[in-house]
Chain A
C-alpha cells in the first residue's frame, strides 16, 4: 500500500434509490460466550482452559453474499467454499499427563490434528480435503500442507460428527495427525485474531504468547459444527468453539509455592469484560476445599459457586461473572488469587537454567525425605543436534552428563558422644558435624552417557567416490590388459645373478646357463 490520496469526490453518481432503511431492530444473529476454567491439579500444577464460543444463526451455504459480524470471515468463507459439515483442528505442544493431572476436559494429541466432515454434496472429497488443509495451513501458519494421502485416514467407527448431522457416511470424513508439528507463537496469533475482541478486552487479554508457551502443556483448537438454533431444532446455527488449554508449572513460576494468581501465570490481569460477549465467566475449581475443610482460599471472594458432576466427579467451582459490574467494584482490575492455607513445605529449590555453550544447568533441591520411601527426581531433556564442528571425533560414543550429587545428614542409629574434633582419628573428621545425633554423607550417582543424534557427515559423497573408484579400478585394469602389449624382454642378467642361478640349477640338477 504505497500511496494514499485524499479523495475529492465528484458526486456524479445519482443514487436515486431510497435508502435501504431497515432499522437495527432485528435481533443480533450471532452471539459470543467466553469462559475460563482454572483448575488446581493434583500434582500442584494449574490448568487453565479458555473457551470462546461464537454462534451464528445463519445457513452459511445458502447465501451468495455473506455478512459477518462476530463469526470470522476467513472461516466462514472456508466452510461455504468447501462445503464443510464439521471441522476440528487442534495444535498441541506437550502431552496431557492424566496420571498427575487427572482427566482433561478435552485432550488433543501432540502436534497437529485435523478432522473434517464434508457435506454429502461434495463430489471429490480428497481434492477438497487437500485444498482445505492447504488453506488452513495458511490461516494458522501451521504445516498442515504436509497432509496428504500418506497420513490421511477415514475412520469408520470413531470420530462421529459432534454436531447436527443428517447421515454419518464415513466416506465424507477425513482425519490426519501431524505429530511433528511444533506449536508456537505464530500459530497463536492467527488463532487470537479470530476472536471478536481480538486480545483487547475480556478473557482474551490473558492470552500473552510468551507466558502461554512457557508451560508444560499447550493445546489450542478450533471446532466448527452445526448446532440446533433452538429447542425445536428447525433451523441450523453454526458454532465456532475456540479452546485453549494450558498447564502452568506452579512451582517454577511461583518460586516453589503452590499459590498462584492470574498475574503470576499470565502476567496480566482482567480489567474489563468483552463488550461483545453475552456471557463471560471465570470458574475456579475449589472442590478440594470442601473435602479437606478450607485448605485453600480464593480472593476476591466469589459471587457464587457452581456445583456439578464433571468427568465422573463432583466438583465445586467458584464463579466470577465479568459482565457483572460488582466483579470490578473492589479494584479496577480482577487479579484472581488462590492461596493454600496449610503451608506445604517442599523445602528449597534452586534452579539456574543453562545457556547454550556458556554454562550448564544447575538444580538444587532441599528435601526432607520420609523414612522407608522412594524419592525419584527426574529431569526431562531434549536431544538436540549440535553444530557440526562441535561433535567430538567419536560422536557415536555419546556425551557425558556429570553425576548428580546427594548430600545428606543421616540420623545415627546409636547415640554417640560428641568427640573431640582434634583428637579423633582423621577418617572420622572429614566433615564437620555440629550435632552428634546425625552424620553427613555425600553420594554421587553414575555419570549419564547420552546418545545425541549424530549426522552422517559425508555419506553421499563417500558413496559416489567409492563407487567411482571401484568402477575406475576395474576399468583401469581391464583397459591395461587390453591395450598394453606384453612381450618377453631379453634377460639381461648380471654376473652375480647368473652365478646365483647356476648354483641353484646345480642343486636342482639342471645344466647351468
Chain B
C-alpha cells in the first residue's frame, strides 16, 4: 500500500519471453556469404588452431583460413563430386570420398595425395578418421561400411549388414573400436571393429541423414526425416527423446565445444539449437536456402552453415575481452595467506545465469510527487511545470489532481507570472488528442476562476486569444475530416451496392442505412 508515483502506469513494460541463452546465439552476427561451385554438402573445422574451415562443395575441397576467413587452399584432385571432407584429430591430414568410388588422403599443408583407397563399388559418402589416427571409416552407396588401415591401404573390416545407401557415420572419441553409421534403410547400426560385427541396430521411421555421437559416447543423435532422435546406447538403443521442431528433413548435426548443445540444420532453411540436458529448443536461425551442413568451430566463435544454393554462411561471434582472458589464462592457483587469496572473489559480479538477490533500494520520488504526497497540490503543479518535463508527465499530474478533486485548489490563487506557465502549457498541448480531455477541463477551470480578472493582465489575455485561435483551427479541421469521412462512407456504400448486386435487397438496405447512420454520427461528432 505504498504511495504510487504519478504516471506509474504511463507505459506498459511488457514481459520478454526470451531465454537468457538467446542472447548468446544472437551474438553470432555479421554473416559472410561465400559462393561455392556447387552444393555445400559438408563442412568441418580443423581441430587444430587456428581452426581452418574445410568446405566440401562440387568437385573440390576448399580450406578457409580460420583467422582471416580467406581461401587458403583448394584441393581439386577429384574425378567426381567430392564427399565428406574430414580432418584427422591433429589437423594434419585430410580424407575425402568422391563419386568415382575412391577415398583419398591428403596432406593438409602440401595438398598432395598421400594414399588412395580403392574397394568401394559406388560413390563414397562418408569418410572419417578413427581416433587412433591410423584407421579410416568409410560408408558408401554400395551398402557397405568399411574400416581401412592407412599404412597397408586395405580394408580391415567390411560390414555388409546395411540394406540401402550408407549416407552418414560417426566415430567416438572415447572409444576407437566402436563406430556408428546411418543408412537409408531406416536404421542406425553400431559396429564393433574388434568383434567385426554389428552390435546394435536401431530402427527409425525415415532414412537416416546424419548420425552424431554425443560427448561421453553413450548417446547417439540421429537425424531421420524431420526428426532428431537421441538414443541411449547403454540401454541398448532406447530412444531418449525425439526433437520434432523441424518441418523438413534434417540434414546435418553438430555439437558445440562443451557438449551441451546440439545444432541441427534442415532443408526447411532453419538451424535450431537444442539443449541436450532438457531437450528444449534454445534458439532458431533462419537461412535463405535449404541447409545441408552445419559446423561450429571448436572455440565456439564461428558457425558455418552450408546450403543447397552453393553458398555457405559464416557467422562470427564477437568475443569479449573477459572471455578471451579466461580462455587464455586458466584460473591461477592462489597461495593461502597472500593478499590476493584474502581478496579472492571480492570483485565477482556473478554469472549471467545466476539468480541475483538485489538489495531493494528506496525509490526516490520526484519533487512533484513529494508535494503531492503532502497534499500540497499547488506546489506540485508548480514543480512539474518548472523543470521542462514532458507533456505526458504534466498531463498525468493534472489528471491526478482532477481525480483527487483538487484541480481548483491547485489552480486558484495565482498571480500573472504563475498563471503564465500553465496557460502556455494548455495552449501548446490542447490539440494533442491524448491530452485534449484533461486540458479542456483545465482550461474550463481556469476560465471559471480567472474569467472576471482577464482584463487586468494583457499577457494572459493574449495567451487566451491564442488558445481560442488554436481551438478554432482544431474545430475546423475536425469538421473537414468528418466531411471527408462522410463522403468516403458514401462512396464505399455505393461500391458495396454495385458489387453485391446479387445479394438480397434487405442486406444492401441495411448496409446503406448503416452507412448513412455512420455519416450522420460522424457529422455530429
The yes or no verdict on A and B being binding partners is no
- Which chain B residues have a beta carbon within 8 Å of chain A's beta carbons? none
